[in-house]
């Protein structure tokens, strides 16, 4: 069975600090896909990134970066120079390779950026 664990329930930092959100996953699939979604206070789910299991290159997009380490089954998300607008719940998710493939979500990490 697939499982995603986000051990950090809540994180609170001061604006401009860097913050890393942890994600650890379990799967028996040899090919799988990892995702991060942002859920702002308005409630919608915003797609941030998708990563394939065979591509362990880290990715940077502006202030966001993702560190994928297959050896530790982790897919961590770092926000550099955080801003108040980054305040949201962040979900890590996993899907397999076959068919329409459901997303299995972690419990989410509530990130609060204080001014």
The site for another protein (CB under 8 A) is made up of 33, 35, 37, 42-47, 50, 91, 93, 95-108
Q: Of the candidates 26, 42, 28, 19, which has an alpha carbon nearest to the alpha carbon of residue 92?
A: 26
The nearest distance, CB 46 to another protein, in angstroms, is 8
Are the C-beta atoms of 41 and 60 separated by less than 8 Å? no
Indicate the residue among 16 and 102 with the shorter CB distance to another protein: 102
Closest contact distance (angstroms) between CB of 45 and another protein is 4
Q: Which is nearer to another protein, 33 or 64 (CB)?
A: 33
**Measured between alpha carbons, how far is 89 from 32 in angstroms, rounded to an integer?**
23
The nearest distance, CB 82 to another protein, in angstroms, is 23
Structure tokens of 90? Answer: 């962040």
The conformation of residue 75, written as its DSSP 8-state character, comes to: E
CA distance 108 to 111: 9
- If the CB atoms of residues 20 and 101 are measured against another protein, the closer one turns out to be 101
Select 36 or 82, whichever has its Cβ closest to another protein. Answer: 36
Q: Apex CA 49: angle with CA 46 and CA 51, to 5°?
A: 145
**Cβ at position 91, least distance to another protein in Å:** 6
């Amino acid at each position: 069975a697939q499982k995603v664990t986000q051990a950090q329930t809540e994180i609170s930092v001061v604006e401009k600090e860097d913050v890393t959100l942890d994600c650890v996953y379990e799967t028996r699939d040899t090919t799988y896909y990892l995702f991060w979604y942002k859920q702002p206070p308005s409630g919608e789910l915003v797609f941030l990134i998708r990563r394939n299991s065979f591509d362990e290159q880290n990715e940077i997009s502006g202030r966001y970066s993702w560190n994928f380490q297959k050896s530790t089954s982790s897919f961590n998300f770092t926000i550099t120079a955080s801003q108040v607008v980054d305040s949201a719940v962040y979900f890590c998710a996993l899907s397999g390779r076959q068919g329409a493939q459901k997303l299995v979500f972690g419990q989410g990490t509530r990130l609060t950026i204080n001014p």
